[in-house]
Amino acid sequence: AAEMGVLQVHLSGGEPGARRDLREITAAAHDSGLYTNLITSGIGFDRARLAGLQAAGLDHVQLSIQDVIPETADRIAGYKGAHARKLALAREVTSLGLALTVNAVIHRANIARVGAVIETALGLGAGRVEVAHAQYYGWALANRAALLPTRAQVDAAMAEVERLRPACAGRLALDLVVP
């Protein structure tokens, strides 16, 4: 891929943390001159594994955070303690000096807290937050009646992102993906 002009590789999935050979894949990508980005839910990672990936050449981590309310975040993620684990992992990422993006998948259950998600990303030391409204295909399409926010909710969330953009300038890049 690098020989063809590709500049970066996104280690995604499913969940890349489930791969036993992730360090080797990361090293191979890095050794080929590719910028390496881990896109994860945080499952299967601790400081030691992150440090190993960093030593192998990992440049960036993109971590999904479902909400700022732990109970809601855990319910959306599908396991108890998910929110606390994700916040701890985000702190490990930044303490190691790796670049961090917070990916916030927005839908009806958390759209009212988009501003708090952005503030959380700032507090975690993220350099970027992607406010990504759920894209309605697959599981999300089958559940869109429960997930799709109203037009008024989307408009309010977009206005909140725009309101926060000046305060984040130079500290946090804000990307917005609308439904």
DSSP string, 5-67: T--EEEE-SS-GGG-TTHHHHHHHHHHTT-EEEEEE-STT--HHHHHHHHHHT--EEEEE---
Average pLDDT, stretch 68-72?
A: 94
Residue 70 pLDDT greater than 90, yes or no = yes
CA dihedral 24, 26, 28, 33 (to 10 degrees): -160
- Per-residue pLDDT at 138: 85
Half-sphere exposure of 89 (CA within 13 A, CB side): 26
> pLDDT grade, residue 9 (50/70/90)?
very high
> Residues 127-139, buried b or exposed e (16+ Cβ, 10 A)?
ebbbbbbbeeeee
Q: What is residue 90's three-state secondary structure?
A: helix
Average pLDDT, stretch 69-79?
A: 90
Residue 179 pLDDT greater than 80, yes or no = no
- Per the DSSP assignment, residues forming a β-bridge with 102 are 63, 129
- Per-residue pLDDT at 23: 97
Average pLDDT, the chain: 93
Reported as a single tens digit per residue, the pLDDT across 107-164 is 999 999 999 999 999 999 999 999 988 888 888 888 888 889 999 999 999 999 999 9
| Residue 92: C-alpha distances to residues 43, 50, 63, 86, 112 (Å) | 14, 8, 12, 10, 28
Instruction: Kindly state the greatest CA–CA separation across the chain.
Output: 48
Average pLDDT, stretch 70-95?
A: 93
The residues, any chain, with a CB within 8 Å of residue 67's CB and separated by 6 or more, are 73, 76, 83, 109, 110, 113, 117
